[in-house]
Amino acid sequence: MFSKIKTCTTAKDIWERLTQICEGSDETKEKKLTVAQQKYESIKMKDGETMTEFDERFSAVVIELTSLGKEYSNRELALKVMRALPREWDVKTMAMRESKDLNKLELHDLFANLKAYEFELETRSEVGPSTSQPTKALAATTTEQCSPNTSKTADQLSDDVMSLFVKKFGKYLRRSYNPSIPCNNYNKSDKVFTDQNCFNCGRPGHFATDCNRPKKENR
């Protein structure tokens, strides 16, 4: 390093030479800035990455950009971080946009808030499985208890349907079947039924019990 500045005659020359050595030429600096900006624009929180890890990665890019002369406002940094988070963070980031003044929100305060929320979610997920076990057990017990009752109810329903069918069919037989007609002539029952007249009104096609006209004794 000394061999590179020993020819400098003033402090200004030494500073400019050191700056050039550390940062490179203007062309090199421009290329570094382009690469750093690309990293900034494309940065996203990775699957399985903690908020602390993402904070370190994002802050490193911001520091690199600052050293190359590119700075962002608090609002720009906050919005960039929020857009880089997965979808499950949308509710949290929307709440922060409504409740926080992003122009005054420093980057470290933003990540501190996000880390606190992440810790809360992790705590809930740890408590969740233990509390859900009784629920699963209760659901299994309920299923076991309900299954016999369900099949029993289905059997009862089948019996009720059959009973109703028998009643309806029996009622139909009582209306259409004439006991005075032999079994071998039962296929003629329809004709016999239509030939007989009602004892109440004298009209064919129905029995006196089904007649809608006034009874003889009431006339």
The first and second tokens of residue 174, run together, are 């009582």
80 class by beta-carbon count within 10 Å (0-12 exposed, 13-18 middle, 19+ buried): middle
Domains recognised in the chain with CATH numbers: 2-124 (no CATH), 175-218 (4.10.60)
Tens digits of residue pLDDT in 8-47: 667 776 666 666 666 666 777 888 899 999 999 999 999 9
Q: What is the pLDDT of residue 85?
A: 97
Percent of the chain with pLDDT over 70: 56
Output the DSSP codes for 39-107: HHHH--PPTT--HHHHHHHHHHHHHHHHHTT----HHHHHHHHHHHS-GGGHHHHHHHHHHS-TTT--H
Q: Is the dihedral of CA 72, 74, 77, 83 positive or negative?
A: negative
Tens digits of residue pLDDT in 119-178: 998 888 777 654 444 444 434 444 444 444 444 444 554 555 566 556 655 665 555 555
Q: Which residue has the tokens 């940065």?
A: 43
Residue 56 has pLDDT above 50, yes or no: yes
Q: What is the pLDDT of residue 114?
A: 96
* More confident position, 116 or 212: 116
Quickly state the pLDDT bin for 62 (edges 50, 70, 90).
Answer: very high
Q: What is the pLDDT of residue 88?
A: 92
Quickly state the pLDDT bin for 203 (edges 50, 70, 90).
Answer: confident
CA angle 88, 115, 63 (to 5 degrees): 105
d(CA 173, CA 176) in angstroms, rounded, equals: 5
Q: Among residues 122, 102, 98, which one has the least CA distance to residue 50? A: 122
d(CA 54, CA 44) in angstroms, rounded, equals: 8
Q: What is the pLDDT of residue 145?
A: 46
Q: What is the pLDDT of residue 44?
A: 97
Q: What is the pLDDT of residue 170?
A: 63
Quickly state the pLDDT bin for 209 (edges 50, 70, 90).
Answer: confident
How many whole angstroms from its chain centre is CA 183? 68
